[in-house]
Structure 1
């Protein structure tokens, strides 16, 4: 881009100078520092906006987490139970009960939640606390 601009300005100056070699050289010699200044100013402006964009990129809130894609498995595993409750697979019984309570409050059928989800949440708690008899979901 700067080369094209330099050629355009040079051609314009040659045209305005009356096509004499001495005037053309003088105008080209005068145009070179001007074009260098324009290039420096453009680089500074691009740097300024680049820094502003970087700061706004770093201060934006994090992207929301994606939800688990897929349905329930026929027989619930510890991994699936941990995903439902939002805890690690090897969480303590206290953490399992606390997570079960939080998820159940948000999805309880009496508060407008689904009976199916409530049964899956209870099944997840049982699997994590190892209280299951190996049965599958009632649904």
Structure 2
């Protein structure tokens, strides 16, 4: 995979070592679980109060008590992201949905609005990961 040095954001992206402990800990936890840091985490970390507010709200919606399963909540996020034409979120939350739903082929059966070319790329990447 090609690595480039283009910025991920129009905002300054802080180094992990420059972040407040609580934000750094959250980012490191995600990195340890997933093997990478989602760009949105680093872009939001530019403004720590907004990072905290976003993730407090996210946690309340996605992890709080309620009548929906984690998979159902992620399905809502994927559907909303698709309606908003945000392929970044469709792909990111689609991956989480497949984990929660215990169904690696959910995206194919869902008839999502994701572009066929992008879907083909995602399927190739998933296949490559399964063979490792």
Q: TM-score, normalised by structure 1?
A: 0.27
Q: TM-score, normalised by structure 2?
A: 0.29
Relative contact order (alpha carbons < 8 A, sep ≥ 6): 1 or 2 greater?
A: 1
Structure whose CA Rg is larger: 1
